[in-house]
Amino acid sequence: MPLHVTLKLAAGVPSFRRAATMRVVRAAIAAGGHRGDFRVVHYNVLGDHLHLVVEAAGAAALARGMQGLSVRLARRVNALLGRRGRLLAQRYHARPLRTPTEVRNAVRYVLLNARHHGAERGAVMARGWVDPYSSALWFDGWKAAIRTDAPWLRALAKEGRPTADPHTWLLAIGWRRGGGLIDIDDVPGPAP
């Protein structure tokens, strides 16, 4: 089943929206987000929290997968930042996605979350802007082809996709029945 998962950072942890931290986060997702019963399919990293769209074979698979991912994140990010202690503020929050519309709305929200937060602050983002702190570059459900001519996008694409391919019908195909392809310039509202 697909799920929308949110992980909040502990107080005092520096923002994750930094290039060095993001490389470590992508590596942790690539190393710990691909098991037979648990997969990270999409992500977006904000300053103080992460949004994930995952697939899990059940509650136990979700718990094991999230525990493994959380441990990898904590070890790697704490080592990078030269800190010790708790990285995540609390246990993750997961919401099951049961319909094509729920899945589409969650994917849209996760991949375009920086636009959502930017709009709240009054920021204007360039048309076609791809968030480098998300898996948007590797998403194949955009209405139009995204621009990949910026040097940083080409470099990011060369690193390879850190997420897994979806296996459930809802996350692989069904979400398109919930409203069609997604506009990269869309600004999602509050969390679905």
**Which residue type occupies 42?**
H
**Averaged pLDDT for residues 77-98:** 91
CATH number at residue 104: 3.30.70.1290
Q: Is residue 130 part of a domain?
A: yes
Q: What is the pTM of this model?
A: 0.91
Q: Is residue 135 part of a domain?
A: yes
Q: Where is 151: in which H helix or E strand? A: helix 151-159
Q: Residue 35 is encoded by which pair of tokens?
A: 């098991």
Domain ranges, residue 59: 2-178
Q: Residue 90 is encoded by which pair of tokens?
A: 């609390």
Q: Is residue 13 part of a domain?
A: yes
Q: Where are the alpha helices (DSSP H) in 33-144?
A: 59-81, 100-111, 113-120
Q: Is residue 174 part of a domain?
A: yes
**Which residue type occupies 120?**
E
Distance of CA 108 to the CA centre of its chain: 11
Q: Is residue 187 part of a domain?
A: no
Cα distance between residue 99 and residue 144, in whole Å: 24
What is residue 141's predicted lDDT score, i.e. its pLDDT? 95
Q: How many CB atoms lie within 10 A of CB 165?
A: 13
Q: Is residue 63 part of a domain?
A: yes
What's the pLDDT tens digit per position in 92-142?
999 999 999 999 999 999 999 888 766 455 555 667 778 889 999 999 999
Q: Is residue 184 part of a domain?
A: no
Structurally, the chain folds into a number of domains equal to 1
Q: Is residue 93 part of a domain?
A: yes
Distance of CA 153 to the CA centre of its chain: 17
Q: Under DSSP, is residue 80 helix (H, G, I), strand (E, B) or coil? A: helix
